A and B are shown apart, each in its own frame.
Chain A
Amino acid sequence: MSATSDAAAAAVAAPTARASAPAALALARAARWRWWEIALFAALPLSWLLLPGQSLLLNEIAIVALFAVSLDLILGYAGIVSLGHAAFFGFGAYSAALFAKDVMPDPLVGLAVAIAASALLGLASSVLILRGSDLTRLMVTLGVASILYELANQLDWLTGGADGLQGVVMGPLTVPGTSLPGFAFDLSGRTAYAYSLVVLAVILVLARRLVHSPFGVSLQALRDNRLRTASIGISTSLRLVVVYTIAAAIAGAAGALLAQTTGFASLDVFDFHRSAEVMLVLVVGGTGYLYGGIFGAIVFKLLHDLIAAWTPQYWNFWLGLFLVVLVLVGRDRFVRPWTWFGSGRATR
């Protein structure tokens, strides 16, 4: 944390694009690749090679991880509490599914279309989050997701209504610029998982570049104190619009991956449940360092599998209990079990 606040102080000292030398150094130091980051990126292809039988589950984890990473950009970095992040996830899912069904089945073009569509939606709705308190923002984000849910429910000629959008057939995954036959999506999910992994890795690298840039550091500054950030000449509204749009685009990519790899999009993608779940995933993994979503997704999905196998109908109860305990213990203490006992309020 001290590294980021140093960098924030440095960026604050030099708000122009031509950063002075110490600020640039501080930024570069914070942006160095750590050993565990390299290990994490190395683990992604290894998981594909070593766990061939688990591809379906791993694919789900990758998608949830990507979704949580997008929420981290706005929650962890910009400090916006959103209860309707599923709006963009669902919009991406429906865009990709509709595009594949009605226009062309190529997955990569569909992914690009879904990302563009979600980014546009994010841009349009970002004006809604600029004003008001946390409560207003909660209500507005929740309202946007509810409106999209209602729309998807009512426009049944387009979306299939409550039955969901069925009969989406994806084409094979081809390498752009070549005439190779490509890889078809199969039942075992091997292709699907590889596809999701590549998208996840590419977006992670881009997001990493983003949060370590002066732009990302200024986001943290406005999260910590918006008034002060604005008063040293940083346009907070513009920054919020940009980061909200980017996060929406990434959430749309996650939704598109889900729709493309399962060949199905249903109302469930817009559900309140999904927004709450992704928030939990992110919080379990930890906010504000970009990889929380990945660790959270792994823990969450494995727990889900474990508990759902034991008591499928009442899994939500344990989810709720987990949330309550997590918050009561304290989010920052929960990931540090050695602070649970002892002097009680060691970290607070």
Chain B
Amino acid sequence: MLTLLFDGVAYGMLLFVLAVGLAVTLGLMNFINLAHGAFAMAGGYVTVLLMNRLGVPFLVCLPIAFLATALLGAVLERTLYRPMYARPHLDQVLFSIGLVFMAVTGVDYVVGSMQQNIHLPDWLQGRLPIEAVGIGKYRLFIIVTCAVLTIALQWILSRTRFGSRLRASVDDPRVAGGLGLDVNRIFLATFAVGSGLAGLGGALGAEVLGLDPTFPLKFMIYFLIVVSVGGTTTITGPLLAALLLGIADVAGKYYVPKLGAFIVYTVMIVILLWRPQGLFGRVAAR
């Protein structure tokens, strides 16, 4: 029971790190980006290829995955995404679906369609010897890493100058621009960090979630659930939603495997009917 809860928390934390970038683009910039999972997949594949082909240690791979995906995100933001911000939602949906299809087949073509495995270092395998509660070392590692990231993010958003600039740009881009903030550059940096976090999440989650070319499609709905249920005005909303989703999904698959993802979807629809702006969101001013 406690093990289940623990696994659920680990899964939820992982989902949060994967989806937090989406919460920023979707919630703050009001851009429907269905291709977010593609960045996570990119991070996962960078890690897998580095480790299995070049023998780079796992801990070195994680920052590389972050940087590589952030760079990819920055380039794509500058070239493709920026003209899309002002477009209608239908255009954004079509555009990002197109990106997903390209990413899925592209990876299939380059790497192949089989599931990729990560060989974790020995010190991350196995379970901690605590009686009654089986705690997987790797799960613990995920939780600690993600918790540190969450606290750092929260600190950046609420305490630093960049955080207040970002919040100002989001609240009203025109006024922020008028005050001399370079809104485009702030969005670029934010998008890059969000993609980087997705890539890091993908690298961390390759062992837990499984990694194959259909990753962006398989987890797209999960990311969207985290963001839409959690609401997009705070960072704690998506965090709680991700934890809830993680625990519900793990417990659901354990107790009623027949129903599987069915429960998750139903709960999502009920919650969105009840509070269309998300569980923890305030009603948007716009």
| Main SS at interface, chain B | helix
Q: Which of A22-30, A44-52, A142-150 contacts B (4 or more CB under 8 A)?
A: A142-150
Q: Are B102 and A134 in contact (CB under 8 A)?
A: no
Known: A146-B221, A320-B98. A314 touches B272 (CB 8 A): no
Q: Is the CB of A136 within 8 A of B276?
A: yes
Question: Closest B-chain residue to A125, C-beta based?
Answer: B269
> Is B276 touching A133 in the complex (CB atoms < 8 A)?
yes
Tell me if A154 and B273 are in contact (CB < 8 A).
no
A326 at interface by CB-CB < 8 Å: yes
Residue B134 is within 8 A (CB to CB) of chain A in the complex = no
B160 contacts partner chain A, Cβ-Cβ < 8 Å: no
B265 and A132: CB pair below 8 A? no
Which of B10-18, B79-87, B136-144, B197-205 lies at the interface? Answer: B79-87
For residue B224, which residues in chain A have a CB less than 8 angstroms away from its CB?
135, 138-139, 142
Residue-wise, chain A 311-348 has the 8 Å CB interface mask toward B (1 for contact) of 00111110111111011100100000000000000000
Q: Given A132-B272, A147-B266, do A81 and B90 touch, yes or no (CB 8 Å)?
A: yes
Q: For the complex formed, measure the closest distance between the CB of B123 and the CB atoms of chain A, giving whole angstroms.
A: 38
Q: Tally of A-B residue pairs with Cβ under 8 A?
A: 127
Contact A139 B228 (CB under 8 A): yes
Q: How far is the CA of A91 from the CA of B117 in the complex (A)?
A: 37
Q: Which of A165-173, A227-235, A276-284 contacts B (4 or more CB under 8 A)?
A: A276-284
Chain B residues whose C-beta falls within 8 Å of the C-beta of A144 in the assembled complex:
269
- In the complex, whether A75 has a CB less than 8 A from a CB of chain B is yes
Residues B95 and A328 in contact, CB atoms below 8 Å apart: yes
Q: List residues 74-113 of chain B with CB under 8 A from any CB of chain A.
A: 80, 83-84, 87, 89-91, 93-95, 97-106, 108-109
Give residues 205-246 of B contacting A (CB, 8 Å): 217, 221, 224-225, 228
Known contacts A134-B32, A139-B272, A143-B265, A83 near B102 by CB under 8 Å: no
- Interface set, chain A 71-102, CB cutoff 8 A to B: 75, 81, 83
Q: Which of B102, B259, B265 contacts A321 (CB 8 A)?
A: B102
B261 on the interface (CB 8 Å rule)? yes
Whether B262 and A154, one on each chain, are in contact in the complex, defined by CB atoms closer than 8 angstroms, is: yes
Cβ 8 A contact of B108, one of A143, A313, A319: A313
CB pair B98 A135 closer than 8 Å: no
**Given A138-B93, A322-B98, A327-B95, do A147 and B262 touch, yes or no (CB 8 Å)?**
yes
Determine whether A289 belongs to the interface, using a CB cutoff of 8 Å to chain B. Answer: no
A14 CB-CB contact with B under 8 Å: no
| Docked pose: A138 CA to B84 CA in angstroms | 18
B7-45 toward A: CB 8 Å interface, digit per residue (1/0)? 000000000000000000010000010000000000000
The answer to the question of A140 belonging to the interface, with a C-beta cut-off of 8 Å to chain B, is yes
In the bound complex, how far is the Cα of B94 from the Cα of A144, in angstroms?
20
**Among candidates B26, B84, B262, residue contacting A135 with C-beta atoms closer than 8 Å:** B26
Chain A residues near B272: list those with CB within 8 A.
Answer: 132, 136, 139-140, 143
Q: In the complex, what residues of A have CB within 8 A of residue B225's CB?
A: 139
B189 at the A/B interface (Cβ < 8 Å)? no
Measured CB to CB, the closest approach of chain A to B268, in angstroms, equals: 5
In-complex Cβ contact of B84 among A133, A147, A323, A327 (8 A): A327
Chain B residues with CB under 8 A of A314: 105, 108-109
A131 at the interface (CB under 8 A from B): yes
Q: Does A151 contact B (CB under 8 A)?
A: yes
Contact A320 B260, CB 8 Å, known A272-B217, A327-B95:
no
Chain A hits for B26, CB < 8 A: 135
> Do residues B93 and A319 form an inter-chain contact, with CB atoms below 8 A?
no
By a CB distance below 8 angstroms, the chain B residues around A127 are 273
Is A128 part of the binding interface, using a Cβ–Cβ cutoff of 8 Å? yes
Among B91, B98, B262, B284, residue most surrounded by chain A Cβ atoms (within 10 Å):
B98
B258: Cβ under 8 A from any A Cβ:
yes
Residues of the B chain whose Cβ atoms lie less than 8 Å from the Cβ of A313: 105, 108
B277 within 8 A of A: yes
Q: Which residues on A sit within 8 Å (CB–CB) of B104?
A: 316, 320
B265 touches A147 (CB 8 A): yes
Contact between chains at B101 and A317 (CB < 8 Å): yes
- B101 nearest in chain A by CB position: A320
Write out the residue numbers on chain A whose beta carbons fall within 8 Å of the beta carbon of B100. Answer: 320
> What 16 new A-B contacts, CB under 8 Å, besides A324-B80, A327-B84?
A81-B90, A133-B277, A138-B93, A139-B225, A139-B272, A140-B273, A143-B272, A147-B269, A150-B259, A276-B97, A313-B108, A319-B101, A320-B101, A320-B103, A321-B98, A324-B98
Interface residues of B (CB under 8 A from A): 26, 32, 80, 83-84, 87, 89-91, 93-95, 97-106, 108-109, 217, 221, 224-225, 228, 258-262, 265-266, 268-269, 272-273, 276-277, 284
Residues of A that sit less than 8 Å from B by CB: 75, 81, 83, 127-128, 131-136, 138-140, 142-144, 146-147, 150-151, 154, 272, 276, 279-280, 283, 313-317, 319-324, 326-328, 331
Can you report 24 residue pairs joining A to B where beta carbons are below 8 Å apart? A83-B93, A131-B276, A133-B276, A134-B32, A135-B32, A138-B224, A140-B272, A140-B273, A143-B265, A143-B269, A147-B265, A150-B259, A150-B260, A150-B261, A154-B262, A279-B94, A314-B105, A320-B104, A321-B98, A322-B98, A323-B101, A324-B80, A324-B102, A326-B98
